[in-house]
């Protein structure tokens, strides 16, 4: 059973609408009236018996927040879901899986290092890969208007499965 969901992103107004903040954007969609407080280096709330985190450590240090919460609540890796952007999935697709490769995602790398395991669940939100150009600039650039519409539609489908992964699940528009 998932007891902690960590939505990854970068804090700060300059990152708010960027591709790397797909996790934060989903958290805001799912919990629009949540009372967030600062705890575990995160914006923290509890909803439906689950602990919800938006790490405020910057993406590459997300493991600090996740490991502090996991340690405090004595959680195993398989009781944690990490929600993050994914370059390898096209925009409009999402996938739930347990474990798996990190695919160069520094936030996931930080979490694996701090937890000592990659046995957590992941909700991968597709943002697509740029055809050319710097990936770092791509993930920190804002979604275009048409991409925001696709993302909002995908988020509506994700609402039905968040926190209840029974098996690998793919979601698409």
Among the listed residues 20, 41, 84, 105, the single catalytic one is: 20
Please name which of 163, 137, 148 lies closest in space to residue 25, comparing C-alpha atoms.
148
- What pLDDT was estimated at residue 164? 66
Domain that holds residue 146: 4-172
By the 8 A CB rule, do 89 and 82 touch? no
Q: What is the CATH number of the domain that holds 132?
A: 3.40.50.1470
Q: How many other CB atoms are there within 10 angstroms of residue 91's CB atom?
A: 18
Q: How many domains does the chain have?
A: 1
Q: In sequence order, what are the residues at sequence separation of 6 or more whose Cβ sits closer than 8 angstroms to the Cβ of residue 55?
A: 6, 8, 9, 40, 41, 42, 61, 62, 64, 65, 66
Enter the DSSP assignment of 61: G
CA-nearest of 98, 96, 82 to 8 is 82
Enter the tokens of residue 44. Answer: 């923290």
- Give the pLDDT band (50/70/90) at residue 115: very high
pLDDT in tens, 128-167: 999 888 898 999 999 999 999 999 999 998 987 776 665 6
High-pLDDT (> 70) share of the chain, %:
96
Known catalytic residue at 20: yes
């Amino acid at each position: 059973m998932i007891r902690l969901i960590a939505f990854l992103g970068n804090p700060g107004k300059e990152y708010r609408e960027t591709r790397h903040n797909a996790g934060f954007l989903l958290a805001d969609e799912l919990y629009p009236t949540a009372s967030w407080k600062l705890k575990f280096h995160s914006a923290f709330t509890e909803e439906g018996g689950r602990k919800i985190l938006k790490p405020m450590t910057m993406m590459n240090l997300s493991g600090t927040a996740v490991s502090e919460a996991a340690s405090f609540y004595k959680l195993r890796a398989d009781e944690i879901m990490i929600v993050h952007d994914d370059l390898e999935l096209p925009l409009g697709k999402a996938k739930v899986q347990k474990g798996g490769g990190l695919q160069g995602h520094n936030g996931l790398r930080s979490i694996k290092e701090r937890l000592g395991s990659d046995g957590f669940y992941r909700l991968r939100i597709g943002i697509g890969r740029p055809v050319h150009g710097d990936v770092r600039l791509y993930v920190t650039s804002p979604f275009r208007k048409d991409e925001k519409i696709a993302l909002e539609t995908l988020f509506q489908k994700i609402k039905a499965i968040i926190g209840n992964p029974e098996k690998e699940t793919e979601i698409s528009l």
